[in-house]
Amino acid sequence: QVQLIQSGPEVKKPGASVKISCKTSGYTFSNYGFTWVRQAPGQGLEWMGWISAYIGYTSYSQKFQGRVTITADTSTSTAYMDLRGLTSDDTALYYCARVSGTYLGPSEYWGQGTLVTVSS
């Protein structure tokens, strides 16, 4: 079955960077893409960006442009999200989710989420 397993919780200081992994199994990694979505405590869902492992394309929300990098390693079937310049506003649960390989679409499979806490 399709599984997306994310890396564990992170505690970072303001100004630091965080890199979260999303290891997949149960399907052909390179045929699909990944989107990253975050959820601050008690808040709604916020789209950050996506990558197509199929066509090697990335795009990012304007809010995060220049501060986020999403990559995909086909050799390990793992997607990554790197967020730099952390502030307390980046404290959130970060999700990876699978999407189509050819366009940014809805996500039927999600990781369990990775909690990132930014605190001095």
Partner 1 sequence: DIQMTQSPSTLSASVGDRVTITCRASQSVSNWLAWYQQKPGNAPKLLIYKASNLESGVPSRFSGSGSGTEFTLTISSLQPDDFATYYCQQYSSYSTFGQGTKVAI
Return residues touching partner 1 (CB under 8 A). Answer: 35, 37, 44-47, 50, 59, 61-62, 95, 97, 103-108, 110-113
3-state SS, residue 46: strand
The least distance separating partner 1 from the CB of residue 98, rounded to whole angstroms, comes to 11
For partner 1, which is the closer residue by CB, 15 or 55? 55
d(CA 39, CA 80): 17
Q: With residue 104 as reference, give the H or E element that holds it.
A: none
d(CA 9, CA 67): 20
For partner 1, which is the closer residue by CB, 10 or 16? 10
The least distance separating partner 1 from the CB of residue 82, rounded to whole angstroms, comes to 19
Is residue 78 within 8 Å of 106, Cβ to Cβ?
no
The least distance separating partner 1 from the CB of residue 72, rounded to whole angstroms, comes to 18
